[in-house]
Amino acid sequence: MSAADLQAGLSSMLALSAAVLLVYALRWPVRRWLGARVAYALWWLPPVALLASLLPAPVRVIDIPAASAFTGLVTTTLPALANPVAPGGSAVWLWLVGSLAVLTLLCLRQWVCVRRLQPMTPDAAGAYRSPAITAPMVLGGWRARIVLPSDFEARYPAEQRDWMLAHERCHLAAFDVHAHALAALLVCLAWWNPLAWWAWRSFRHDQELACDARVLDQRPGARRSYAQTMLNIQLAAQRAPTPLGCHWPAGHPLKERIRMLSHHLPNASSRRRGFLLVALLSLTFSLAVFAAQPAKLVSADAPLYDVRLLLSRPGKAPIMPSLIVRGGERAGIRSDEIEIDLTVTAGNDGMLWIATEIQLDGKPAGEPTIALKSGEPGTISAKRDDGQNFDLTFWVSHHRSATPENGQSADTLADVQTPPRYPAQALRDGIEGKVIVAFQVDATGVVREARIESAEPPGIFDEAALAAVRSWWLNPANHQGALPTWMQSPIHFKLGEDDAPPAG
């Protein structure tokens, strides 16, 4: 988790809050002019705005002739830091832990509610019966079902039963339970935002009003009977709250619901125009949210850098991609084996800082930061969780189309001859030795083959010497057209004073 992740999350929550405030400003006049169903449709604005804020920035692809199949992608912009680090990680983790806690609490409340409704038995009409409730309800998130009181027929007259069933079936037909589940998920993500909790309550309120409107569309001349049914249900004083589901009457203010019945219901043509206006508003607002994201392009004055990498892994041929990045931009390198995100920034001390995030074979391998002088190599050595070692060597220099500060060309990179790792058993036994390795170097400077010419003592240092040589890279510019060729090099294994085995 990085500061960029935190900044992106906060920007998304800001977009969500702005959308909620816009809905708050519009829901009352829209409900009066275009009806409760159009006002309820306004609640699509917050999730659409959230999705717009999460859209990735336009990707600029840089075509680079490289020795292996890599592509340099400029994906996001990070602020230029003298010493790039990853602040904000604690806040991001707190956010995630809070979201998980709220989700767990909602799931627990749902489980408790379902337990209280037991025993639930199916009836012939496809609904369920429960002795724990006094009014119908829709229960569930993705697979919703209607739950009726066990004494439903004895408690209510036939006409009121018809109204109640029509109301619950309208909830199911309009996928209200699915919309409610999505709203609950957004609340889990924005648990720290008071607007999210207020919006959830208002959303459920508008959902019930929209369901009332859909029911009355079927029987527009029976408003008095429907109002009497709502009054009887309210007097039943049912209290069976569930995070996922639709309640009848769900605790919404009865006075307002009955007052809405006195308003003129818009005709189908007016509703279509209202839905179209909501769709246009959502599109316009989402475009505004996307346009308000931080600029993804840096100043044209920012320097360009040539970045070359050499990945060396024991027993595998080295790979050496290259790319061009602009200072302060985040660049991504992808292949089947490795994913590297890096940012190059110039420090006040004249050093070039490279902040990296590395994944090897799909697994995180670290987020190291290294400081280099322009044109000089620097190597990161790391070990994965499975114990495998790898070396990643960087060269960074000013792009040749720009004016280098020190006049050094990117072609004058030093050869990389990674020293071998001392075998553990030989180190413990205090054994020293020498291995002569012959190796073939191709025209790009990558070692393709290596074999042992001689070894003293034999069989002890062979594997370590071969693994080291296979990770070497020789800059063709340093060998004046001699590549490709076979070469030979002695590798000495000597113990330092601190490495000598204990006496005795």
Full pLDDT tens readout for the chain, 504 residues: 445 566 677 788 888 899 999 999 998 899 888 888 899 999 999 999 988 888 865 544 333 333 332 323 322 222 333 333 344 456 777 888 999 999 999 989 888 888 888 888 888 778 899 988 888 888 877 778 888 989 888 888 888 888 888 888 888 888 888 888 889 999 998 898 899 999 998 898 888 888 888 888 877 767 777 777 776 666 555 555 566 666 654 445 555 565 665 566 677 888 888 899 999 998 998 888 887 765 454 444 567 888 887 777 666 666 777 777 878 777 777 766 677 888 888 887 778 888 888 877 777 777 888 888 887 888 877 666 666 677 788 888 877 654 444 444 434 566 777 788 888 888 888 899 999 999 988 887 878 888 999 999 999 999 888 888 887 878 787 887 788 889 898 988 888 755 555 444
Dihedral through CA 400, CA 401, CA 406, CA 407, nearest 10? 70
Domain boundary among 413, 436, 456: 413
The vertex-340 CA angle with 336 and 346, nearest 5°, equals 155
Backbone angle region of 204, left / alpha / beta, with phi > 0 → left and psi within -120 to 50 → alpha: alpha
Flag whether 502 is in a domain: no
Structural domain boundaries enclosing 336 = 58-87+298-413
Flag whether 347 is in a domain: yes
pLDDT at 299: 46
Kindly state whether residues 203 and 309 are assigned to the same domain. Answer: no
User: What tokens appear for 227 in the block?
Assistant: 């109002």
Flag whether 499 is in a domain: no
Flag whether 265 is in a domain: yes
Which phi and psi angles does 249 have, rounded to 5°? -100, 10
- For residue 90, what are the β-bridge partners? none
Kindly state whether residues 394 and 432 are assigned to the same domain. Answer: no
Residue in this structure with the two tokens 């337990």, named with its chain if needed: 115
Kindly state whether residues 178 and 211 are assigned to the same domain. Answer: yes
Kindly state whether residues 164 and 281 are assigned to the same domain. Answer: yes
Kindly state whether residues 303 and 244 are assigned to the same domain. Answer: no
pLDDT at 280: 93
pLDDT at 236: 57
Backbone angle region of 187, left / alpha / beta, with phi > 0 → left and psi within -120 to 50 → alpha: alpha
Kindly state whether residues 348 and 428 are assigned to the same domain. Answer: no
User: What tokens appear for 496 in the block?
Assistant: 């330092």
Task: Report CA-CA distances (Å) from 417 to 157, 322, 426.
Answer: 90, 19, 22
Residues 6+ away with beta carbon under 8 Å from 398 = 303, 304, 305, 306, 374, 404, 405, 408, 410
Domain count, the chain: 3
Task: Please state, in angstroms and rounded to a whole number, the distance separating the CA atoms of residues 12 and 48.
Answer: 11
pLDDT at 419: 80
pLDDT at 413: 64
Domain boundary among 359, 388, 413: 413
Residue in this structure with the two tokens 């413990």, named with its chain if needed: 428
